[in-house]
Structure 1
Amino acid sequence: MRDFAAELEERKRAGLYRTRRQISSPQQPALVSDGVPLLSFCSNDYLGLANHPGIIKAATDAMPNTGFGGAASHLICGHHDAHHQLELRLADFTRRSAALFFSTGYMANMGVISALAGRGDTIFSDRLNHASIIDGCVLSRARVRRYRHGDMSALADMLAATAGHKLVVTDGVFSMDGDIAPLRELAALCRAHGALLVVGDAPGLGVLGPQGPGSL
């Protein structure tokens, strides 16, 4: 049996042992962590909605009619009308025919990618894609080929040399670098080679495009 206590000690000596910060204030730029007032530079609350007064009021006003929590998955306990109306609004906002909510962005990438590709298929993934996209590719059990970041020529060669069902997946905005994927070129390549295109656009939504529908 592995000596987990020894492994934990080794992690501590290597500076790799992680502990959770205890936050006692709302998530916002100025917060209280372990009792100390600090400025947060690590949040992905890009639009400042986590503690927005309008959202807090809307949630408070809705609670008497909706209750708190979904009790189980929507397929088991039913899809609440409030969720349905929100999906319709988001679809309209992003100019799409429909929208489907997941509990987190990570779960969206895990669910969507593994639904669109599987064993025997090939996924082409930008080398700088978010970790959740990488995990979604692994979960799918498809063959995964990574192409150089933003290199459309390399991707074109890989697509041309691959038969069968193909899926290209990329971030719309690469969150660690801030650059935007060449989406027009990607879409053209996918059409030319019969591939599906999946774009993760969490950092772009609400920021890019007229009124903020995202990088797409």
Structure 2
Amino acid sequence: MNSTMQPTRRSRTQRAVVVVLAVALVASTGVLAVLAASPASAATTTSEPAATTAPGQDDGTHLDAVGALVLRRLLLADPVAQSKWLSGKPIADPVREQAVVDEAVSLARQEGVDPDLVTRVVRSQISASKVVQRGLITSWTHDPASAPTTAPDLATIRPQLDAIDTDLVAAIGAAQATAHDPRCAHLVVAERKRLSAGLDSLHRKGVRDALSGFCTA
């Protein structure tokens, strides 16, 4: 009796297991189909498109390169002022200033950069440098004890200025779209704040003057 019933129970158990597995397979297939068709699943497997700048607008990143060069050039006004203080040379040097502008414009034309934009920006650098030089020399005049007693020769500083001016023309060329962008003034203000962090009031004024001629409008 027991020997004949044991296979029967085993068969029933096996059939039950098969049925459970079949149901589970069908259920899982249905879930996968629903997940594949659902928008949430597509959202998790498809990367979102990167944000793009609107046509005709620049995101201002090219202005960072201009700003970095502007700051480097402006900080060289300090040793220039020291040298002029000790040598007695005047702050303004119209012949040298015009030669700097002419060289930058010539390079701009060779590289296809807007010569009017380059003229404005380079003249702004010269003006900003003189603002800092004048402020320092005025301070030393009123407080001789704070005046420098040694300084580098201008002949060693000018090659550094010339190298910056050369790089500046290329940076201006890369940022021409920003100069014509309707948001240019806003972008310049943001760059000015970034560059002015940690500077004293005199050098902050220099940064403002140095970027003042960048925007076309």
Give the number of the structure with larger relative contact order, counting CA–CA contacts within 8 Å between residues 6 or more apart. 2
* Structure showing greater Rg: 2
TM-score (norm 2): 0.20
TM-score (norm 1): 0.20
